[in-house]
């Protein structure tokens, strides 16, 4: 039996090296022994090694120096030091410098084994996180993750039109990433080194939007205690992002149209017009075509804005992005909280893929954030995901909304429930899922106990 992971043993006493080598071999590890630090480090350079065991006190080079050089050669190698009883402080210091652990001589085989295994586990975990980070990075551009063909197409469109000064209208449900796309458009443009100014038309009361956008002179209205530059002027030579454009009042629509057409505007209370050079990007999650039909949004402004349209699909229509996004957020929140979680269990992935994500990427991000907080293991399971807000979003699907696979699943759930005499826990056992997932599916499929059949 050979276990994975190479081990290097270094001690200036040949006997000790021999004894440990023999012990490790019995335990099935692959190990190489050295009495010279230089040779041990050479071996580390030549082939990957997961754990390096080194003595702390050696004549040529001490264990601290070995630790430092080893980490330089391979930052992922885990180092365990041996130390005599009298020099434990040295070992503690070594741990501060990045050693995994230490062993006080003489030590038992079982102690050696436990420490090596924990070092190997730590290294495997680190490598797994690194792998996930790399996988995720492959699909990232301007902080935007795109694996699905539809998102890739959008990014290539954005790259193309970013270079021009054309006005862009970004459409998409809430949480689909409109703000990220707007920023990318700016960063891809020749204006990237200039200002990027956001006006959130949705969050600002309409009476304030005018003052914010156009600015005013002192005394222009009650409360105008001094001159104030408007956002339009601030964005001069740069990009102005008008977020939630669907919400602006008819008067503001007219005034905005004028800025878009002429590049001119007049601050409140001022006689003279000012001229600016801005690139405008607008976004909305409302149906502007409908608003135009209802006479609530000026048609000419609509056409002026939608010179180029970027339509972001809802997350449920680009399922290829779900797992990658989940991993991206997992890595992000693990880094933030210092938690070490290596990924998602199979049932968690099923659940993420199944959910309809009415709140799109923002909802997914929130779910992963709370899952990271709640997770007590090194894997996120479906149970942990269901503890977050997500489960409440989707309940009670009608039969007509289900696809063939879901219909079959629903039938299986009902069958299991009947077999288990409607005891949910037992039915969950029959299907090999957790009680919480069972509960979720019952609500999702709107399953109710039929008293006559029970
Ligand atoms: N493709 C993506 N890659 C990485 N993160 C994303 C992606 N899409 C969205 N996000 C993240 O999801 C959250 C919501 O995105 P954003 O604010 O851009 O959405 P929005 O469409 O502007 O939503 P709203 O209409 O509610 O304003 C942000 O935290 C954003 O960073
Ligand atoms: Mg937004």
Q: Whose CA is nearest to atom 29 of ligand 1?
A: 362
The pLDDT-based confidence of 389 (bands split at 50, 70, 90) is low
Quick check: CB of 362 below 6 Å from ligand 1? yes
* Proximal ligand: closest to the CA of 137: 1
Q: Whose CA is nearest to atom 25 of ligand 1?
A: 174
Which of 361, 363, 367, 368 most suits a substitution to test ligand 1, by most atoms within 8 Å of the C-beta? 361
5 pLDDT above the threshold of 70: no
Cα–Cα distance measured from residue 255 to residue 214, given in angstroms and rounded to the nearest whole number = 9
Peptide bond into 264 cis (omega under 30): no
Question: Same CATH fold, 318-345+360-391 and 149-313?
Answer: no
Using the mean position of ligand 2's atoms as its centre, give its distance from the Cα of residue 392 in Å. Answer: 23
Residue 315, Cβ neighbours under 10 Å: how many? Answer: 26
Q: Which of 148-157, 294-303, 420-429 has the lowest mean pLDDT?
A: 420-429
396 pLDDT above the threshold of 80: no
Higher pLDDT, 24 or 446: 24
1 pLDDT above the threshold of 50: no
Ligand 1: which atom is nearest the Cα of residue 172? 21
DSSP state letter for 268 = B
For the segment 42-89, what is each residue's pLDDT rounded down to a tens digit? 999 998 899 999 999 999 899 999 999 999 999 889 999 998 877 778
For the segment 227-265, what is each residue's pLDDT rounded down to a tens digit? 889 999 999 999 999 999 998 989 899 999 999 999 999
The topology under which CATH files domain 318-345+360-391 is: Helicase, Ruva Protein; domain 3 (1.10.8)
Q: Which CATH class is domain 399-444?
A: mainly alpha
Specify whether the CB–CB gap between 445 and 410 falls below 8 A: yes
In this predicted structure, what is the pLDDT of residue 394?
A: 52
Q: Which CATH class is domain 6-136?
A: alpha beta
202 pLDDT above the threshold of 60: yes
For the chain, domain boundaries: 6-136, 149-313, 318-345+360-391, 399-444
Quick check: CB of 308 below 6 Å from ligand 1? no
Task: Give pairs for 118-124: CB < 8 Å, separation 24+.
Answer: 119/50, 119/51, 119/78, 119/80, 120/4, 120/5, 120/50, 120/51, 120/78, 122/78, 123/5, 123/50, 123/51, 123/76, 123/77, 123/78
Ligand 1: which atom is nearest the Cα of residue 151? 1
For the segment 134-179, what is each residue's pLDDT rounded down to a tens digit? 888 888 888 899 999 999 999 999 999 988 899 999 999 999 999 9
53-84 CB burial, b ≥16 within 10 A, e <16: bbbbbbeebbbbebbebbbeeeeebbbbbbbe
The pLDDT > 70 percentage for the chain reads 95
In this predicted structure, what is the pLDDT of residue 175?
A: 94
Phi/psi of residue 434, each to 5°? -80, 165
The pLDDT-based confidence of 440 (bands split at 50, 70, 90) is confident
Q: What is the largest CA-CA distance in the chain?
A: 94
Quick check: CB of 178 below 6 Å from ligand 1? yes
Which of 144, 153, 168, 179 most suits a substitution to test ligand 1, by most atoms within 8 Å of the C-beta? 179
SS3 labels along 286-322: CCHHHHHHCCCCCHHHHHHHCCEEEEECCHHHCHHHH
Task: Give pairs for 92-96: CB < 8 Å, separation 24+.
Answer: 93/64, 94/56, 94/63, 94/64, 94/67
For the segment 365-382, what is each residue's pLDDT rounded down to a tens digit? 999 999 999 899 889 999
Question: Among candidates 10, 16, 14, which has minimal Cα distance to 79?
Answer: 10
Q: Whose CA is nearest to atom 5 of ligand 1?
A: 144
219 by DSSP, 3-state: which? coil
In this predicted structure, what is the pLDDT of residue 2?
A: 46
Cα–Cα distance measured from residue 274 to residue 203, given in angstroms and rounded to the nearest whole number = 26
395 pLDDT above the threshold of 60: no
* Proximal ligand: closest to the CA of 358: 1
Average pLDDT of the chain is 89
Cα–Cα distance measured from residue 323 to residue 336, given in angstroms and rounded to the nearest whole number = 20
Superfamily of 149-313 according to CATH? P-loop containing nucleotide triphosphate hydrolases (3.40.50.300)
Q: Whose CA is nearest to atom 16 of ligand 1?
A: 177
Specify whether the CB–CB gap between 280 and 240 falls below 8 A: yes
Higher pLDDT, 140 or 324: 324
* Proximal ligand: closest to the CA of 320: 1
391 pLDDT above the threshold of 50: no
In this predicted structure, what is the pLDDT of residue 173?
A: 94
Higher pLDDT, 408 or 345: 345
Find which of 156-165, 231-240, 332-341, 388-397 is predicted with most confidence, using mean pLDDT. 231-240
In this predicted structure, what is the pLDDT of residue 129?
A: 81
Cα–Cα distance measured from residue 446 to residue 24, given in angstroms and rounded to the nearest whole number = 57
pTM (predicted TM-score)? 0.71
In this predicted structure, what is the pLDDT of residue 449?
A: 73
In this predicted structure, what is the pLDDT of residue 408?
A: 85
Tokens of residue 33, six digits: 């022994």
Quick check: CB of 145 below 6 Å from ligand 1? yes
The pLDDT > 90 percentage for the chain reads 56
In this predicted structure, what is the pLDDT of residue 454?
A: 42
Distances (CA, A) of 377 to 52, 121, 343, 344, 384: 27, 14, 10, 11, 10
What mean pLDDT comes out for the span 278-300? 94
């Amino acid at each position: 039996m050979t276990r994975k992971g190479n081990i290097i043993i270094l001690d200036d006493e040949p006997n000790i090296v021999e004894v440990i080598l023999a012990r490790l071999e019995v335990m099935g590890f692959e190990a190489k022994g050295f009495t010279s630090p230089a040779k041990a480090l050479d071996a580390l350079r030549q082939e990957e090694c997961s754990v390096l065991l080194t003595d702390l006190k050696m004549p040529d080079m001490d264990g601290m120096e070995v630790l430092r050089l080893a980490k330089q050669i391979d930052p992922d190698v885990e180092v365990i030091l041996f130390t005599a009883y009298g020099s434990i402080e040295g070992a503690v210091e070594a741990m501060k410098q990045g050693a995994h652990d230490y062993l006080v001589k003489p030590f038992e085989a079982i102690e050696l084994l436990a420490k090596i295994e924990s070092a190997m586990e730590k290294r495997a975990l680190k490598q797994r996180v690194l792998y996930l980070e790399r996988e995720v990075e492959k699909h990232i551009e301007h902080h935007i993750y795109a694996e699905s063909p539809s998102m890739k197409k959008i990014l290539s469109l954005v790259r193309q039109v970013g270079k021009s000064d054309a006005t862009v209208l970004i459409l998409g449900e809430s949480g689909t990433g409109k703000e990220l796309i707007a920023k990318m458009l700016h960063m891809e443009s020749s204006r990237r080194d200039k200002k990027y100014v956001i006006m959130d038309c949705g969050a600002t009361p309409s009476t304030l939007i005018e003052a914010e956008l156009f600015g005013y002179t002192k005394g222009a209205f009650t409360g105008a205690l001094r001159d104030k530059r408007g956002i339009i002027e601030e964005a001069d030579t740069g990009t102005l992002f008008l977020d939630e454009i669907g919400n602006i009042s008819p008067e503001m629509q007219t005034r905005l149209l004028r800025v878009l057409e002429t590049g001119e505007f007049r601050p409140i209370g001022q006689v003279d017009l000012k001229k600016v050079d801005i690139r405008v990007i607008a976004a909305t999650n409302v149906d502007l075509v409908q608003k135009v039909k209802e006479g609530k949004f000026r048609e000419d402004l609509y056409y002026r804005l939608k010179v180029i349209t970027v339509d972001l699909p809802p997350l449920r229509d680009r399922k290829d992005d779900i797992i990658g996004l989940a991993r991206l957020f997992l890595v992000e929140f693990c880094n933030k909280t210092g938690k070490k979680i290596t990924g998602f269990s199979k049932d968690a992935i099923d659940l993420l893929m199944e959910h309809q994500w009415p709140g799109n990427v923002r909802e997914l991000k929130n779910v992963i954030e709370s899952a990271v907080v709640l997770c007590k293991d090194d894997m996120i399971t479906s149970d942990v995901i269901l503890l977050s807000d997500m489960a409440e979003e989707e309940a009670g699907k009608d039969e007509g909304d289900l696809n063939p696979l879901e219909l079959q699943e629903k039938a299986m759930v009902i069958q299991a429930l009947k077999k288990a005499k409607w005891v949910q826990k037992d039915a969950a056992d029959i299907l090999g899922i957790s009680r919480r997932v069972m509960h979720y599916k019952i609500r999702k499929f709107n399953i109710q106990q039929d008293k006559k059949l029970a």
